Amino acid sequence: MRILVVEDEPTLAAQVASALVANGYVAEIATDGQQAHMLGEVETYDAVVLDLGLPVMDGITVLKKWRAGGLTVPVLILTARDHWHEKVAGIDAGADDYLTKPFHMEELLARVRALLRRAAGLASPELRCGDVTLDTRSARVSVDGQPIALTSHEFRVLDFLMHHQGTVVSRSTLTEHIYAQDFDRDSNTIEVFVGRLRRKLPPGMIETVRGFGYRLAAPT
């Protein structure tokens, strides 16, 4: 899952991005509203953490432009504790949730997880497919109750497929969602990660839909 962090305070931006990466996400940073607007228009993200007090273009304007352009990515806005009117304006502009500063990083991570679950139509933080369980809170995966070790890229591929169970996902879509913008993206490596996952998961769980991509489904 790929998250855009829009925050002009360097230390906070780095802390949020670092926490996201430590929990299995790909995180990218934009430091002003104009940069954020451009990235949202040309890149693919699963969620956005958006500060409203931004230079060049404020967060409310960015959000309104995204929504007017049809961008439906879930957005968590960050506001100052005493700026209650920003919360109202943010929700009215199309935000999905808000968090006031200062905040605990665990709460931000929990709210991001909730946004991703809602976007995928899921309710529980534990994603299940047959005997496979992925705990989004701890970024751990188990098969029939036994933990399995995954590399960061294997986890990201499985995480995206678990959030989109039963849906055919193309290699290009997986590439867009598991790599950062500045990474040398090679969709051919997706086959390598899928191959490794197949050796660690129950047989038949990841189906190849020829000419289209992959589908995660519980073996029958």
Same domain, 203 and 170: yes
Q: Could you say which residues of the chain have pLDDT below 50?
A: none
DSSP three-state, residue 59? helix
Same domain, 21 and 105: yes
Same domain, 107 and 157: no
Digit-coded pLDDT (tens) for 21-61: 999 999 999 999 999 999 999 999 999 999 999 999 999 99
Same domain, 78 and 21: yes
Beta strand pairing status for 75-80 and 47-51?
A: parallel
DSSP three-state, residue 184? coil
Same domain, 175 and 92: no
Residues 6+ apart with CB under 8 A from 140: 134, 147
Q: Is 0.75 topped by the overall pTM? A: yes
Beta strand pairing status for 47-51 and 2-6?
A: parallel
Digit-coded pLDDT (tens) for 195-204: 999 999 999 9
Bridge partners of 4? 28, 48
Residue where one domain finishes, among candidates 77, 99, 119 = 119
**Which residue range forms the structural domain that includes residue 141?**
126-216
How many domains is the chain built from?
Answer: 2
CA distance 110 to 43: 24
Same domain, 113 and 140: no
Residue where one domain finishes, among candidates 65, 87, 119 = 119
Same domain, 108 and 130: no
Same domain, 13 and 111: yes
Same domain, 7 and 87: yes
